[in-house]
Amino acid sequence: MIIGYTTGVYDMFHIGHLNILRRAKEQCDYLIVGVSTDELVLHDKNKTPIIPFENRCKIIESVRYVDKVVPQMDKNKFGVWEKLHFDKMFVGSDWQGTPQWNGYEKQFAEVGVEIVYLSHTDGISSSLLREKLNEHGHMKKEYSIKDIQFCILGIIKYLDSFCKEYNIRYYLMGGSALGAMRHGGFIPWDDDLDVFMTVENYTRFLKLFEEKGSKEYFLQKENSNDWPLFLSRVCLNGTTLISDEFAHNMKQHHNVFVDIMCLYSAPDNEIKRRLQYYTAQLLRINALERANFPQAEWIKWVAMKISRIVVNRWTRKSLENYVHSFEGTNTVQVGHFYGRARYPQTNFMRKFIGSGTPRYVTFEDTQLPVFENVEDYLVSRFGERWMDMPDQKTRDQYPPHSNFVDLEKDYTEYMSKDKKSWIYKC
């Protein structure tokens, strides 16, 4: 039996895709098709497919020429052969003669695998279909991850100038700090940017930005009826960025944004530190419940419902006061306890901040601030090998925030008249 293998994205499935699969099946007895995951497409093409991975797999599975569908999670062709042991690999003729595929031909010849180049169907491709839909106004413009990053870069540049004008200190945090030090800018597959501020700077920033910030931006203040989470956002008016996790909160602003998180003092006593963390997480779970955050896991769904009872108008303030009660003391550790990170990764040594004066480093085409001892902070957050590029499995743990993006229209244009539902189409 001759086993064949071919791969593709198969987005917006068309006759060209069908012809390739038919021609491949004509030359083998059993055809295996690798369908590229959303994460791989994002990494390779800086955009997500219109049709989600699971649906694309179902479409290919329904084609009578296909015997088996497998996920294509990376471009390691030989690694796939070691698992599937196919006899022929089919690929588009536009790859023939390229250095990459000349190399594959030599590599696979050693194990007896034939590479077969198949011609494409003239006049049809997914790109042409998108262009035609755009021409007739049936499809919004596509934006790459680079487009989103460029928009975010504009926000952080304004935030930086505002903070310099009013002598407010802030620092890149988490993946944003990692991107600055490892990539000199954004992590290539990251579509957000986060900053830290100490309590004093955070409090001053919220007050001053609300009073004197440019009308081009909107300040989504933390712990409010519209945005109950414990972080604030500087949002760029006139843009749209809707994520699956917050799509059900119709009250918040769904613009492209920069997240601002407050650094709190953590007590030196281990038991009190844990109590501080768990109290903050209880408040976080309750905030997600109030924001209509979707939760598929039943245990987390139950926790959100229980938080509704435990955290109420009588107890909420007391719980918040406890989390913030260690301010004014020069504790050894600081942290932000309201995020997804688990204890003790929520905390780090105060000495990593240094004297408090930010250290400016290259970030894309500008300079942005990090902690004075940012390398020590990154070791504590990501481990000794933080400079190493992560594998695909690790990258997949950090999916894009954006489900629907329009950098030229405000999110309100995609809301129903009563502002209670979305009318956008991907």
> 313 CB contacts (<8 Å, ≥6 apart)?
none
What is d(CA 172, CA 181) in angstroms, rounded to the nearest whole number? 10
- pLDDT of 58 above 90: yes
What is the C-alpha separation between 38 and 42, in angstroms, rounded? 6
pLDDT band at 426 (very low <50, low <70, confident <90, very high): very low
**Nearest CA to 77 among 115, 43, 27?**
115
Check pLDDT > 60 for residue 244.
Answer: yes
Active site includes 251? no
Mean residue pLDDT of the chain comes to: 90
Please state, for a pLDDT cut of 90, what percent of the chain lies above it.
67
Give the strand pairing for 217-220 and 333-335: unpaired
**What is the CATH T-level fold of the domain 145-266+346-414, as seen in this structure?**
Beta Polymerase; domain 2 (3.30.460)
Q: How confident is the model at residue 337 (pLDDT cuts 50, 70, 90)?
A: very high
Q: Which of 33-42, 82-91, 388-397 has the lowest mean pLDDT?
A: 388-397
**b (16+ CB within 10 A) / e for 124-146:** eebeebbeeeeeeeebbeebebe
What token pair was written down for 111? 């194990």
Q: Which listed residue (45, 75, 157, 409) is catalytic?
A: 45
Q: What is the pLDDT of residue 46?
A: 60
Give the model's pLDDT for residue 51: 85
Backbone angles phi, psi at 373, to 5 degrees: -110, 55
Q: Which of 27-36, 285-294, 389-398 has the highest mean pLDDT?
A: 27-36
Assign 138 a pLDDT band (cuts: 50, 70, 90).
Answer: very low
**Residue predicted with more confidence, 126 or 92:** 92
> Residue 164 catalytic?
no
Rounded to the nearest angstrom, the gap between the alpha carbon of residue 367 and the centroid of all alpha carbons in its chain is: 23
Mean pLDDT to the nearest integer, 311-335: 93
Q: Is residue 50 very low, low, confident or very high in pLDDT (cuts 50, 70, 90)?
A: confident
pLDDT at 223 over 90: yes
The predicted model gives 247-256 an average pLDDT of: 94
pLDDT score at 133: 62
Extract the tokens encoding 101: 């595929």
Averaged pLDDT for residues 273-280: 96
**Residue 22, SS3?**
helix
Which one from 47, 68, 272, 351 is the annotated catalytic residue? 47
Does the pLDDT value for residue 253 go beyond 70?
yes
Residue predicted with more confidence, 49 or 318: 318
- Residue boundaries of the structural domains of the chain: 3-135, 145-266+346-414
- Residue 135: what pLDDT? 55
CATH topology for the 3-135 domain: Rossmann fold (3.40.50)
Higher pLDDT, residue 317 or 294: 317
The pTM for the full model equals: 0.70
Question: What's the confidence (pLDDT) of residue 49?
Answer: 80
